Amino acid sequence: MVKLSVIVPFFNVQTYAPDTLRSLRANARADFEFILVDDCSSDGTPELLRQAERELPGAVLVRHEKNGGLATARNTGLDAASGEYLTFLDGDDWLAPGYFGELLSFIEELGVDFVRADHVQCSGRARSVHRVPQGRRGVVLDPRDAILPADRSTSVDYAYAWAGMYHRRLLDDGLLHFKHGLRTAEDRPWIWRLHREARTFAVAGLLGVFYRRGVASSLTQIGDVRQLDFIHAFDQVIEETARDADADQLLPKAVRTYCAIISHQLGTIERFEPAVAKTLRSMSAAAMKRMPQDILKDALNSMDYERAARLRRVRRRTAAAEVSA
């Protein structure tokens, strides 16, 4: 029986894929499978993956005929996975030797639905440790308790799917798939759903994932319309959280986080193409209009002046444009 399925999407990462694949070899076990999803790469990535299929123990190669984006590629991997536990890695990141075995032992020992883990962020030669915003390590926790408070960074703000491991029962319960087609922020509705609906989780004080920042092909570095999918992702968070039995407690956190992300995007709007920047402004104003207005008012009043002013300015300008039209 396969103990662990590792889902790794790749798209045009021929420069970085060799590091990723070497690190997978250093984590291979007879009861591990590595599902390598080629999301219709057009560079040298497919040949690297065909070689890995021959040489990497447990490798399973799946190729998309059409590029679908990270969320869809991960879903393809989930559909192909047969392991008792599942985890993710992106095709331009890498692992410390033996890391998956250590994390697997941790989740099995505690018997929880999922675990979260710290990671190392890499920007060129610079390295920095990023930790799960949860102080209690190595104990069983209730995921719902880790969503709040609204005005602090919590576990739902640490949304990296690859920073953890997940029991198959979550997949069987429909909690691990991503929204098809999301090109960015796909982890946000996913992590919120896990914390609302899973029963138990824990945080491991392990450092073994190396997250590569500043990759030129990454959507975080590209100012085109695909970046605006964060609006659709957070709309999903708001919509699903509004149906929760504890919506009155959880929505303030969801709305405040949504506003913070909108403000961040508006604050770096110069990186977007002019037409995309215009669309960002209008979509941001429309998103705030859809939010529960009393909760939105409280969220804006609780934010620092600069971020709140940026959001209020976009609301006013859009409202004025609607009136003049």
The pLDDT of 220-241, averaged and rounded, is: 86
Query: What is the pLDDT at residue 320?
Result: 56
pLDDT in tens, 297-313: 999 999 999 999 999 99
pLDDT for 274 beyond 70: yes
CA distance 36 to 48: 11
The pTM (predicted TM-score) of the whole model is 0.93
pLDDT in tens, 66-93: 999 999 999 999 999 999 999 999 999 9
Query: What is the pLDDT at residue 321?
Result: 55
For 292, the token pair is 């529960």
pLDDT for 173 beyond 90: yes
Percent of the chain with pLDDT over 70: 95
CA distance 27 to 5: 12
CA distance 231 to 278: 14
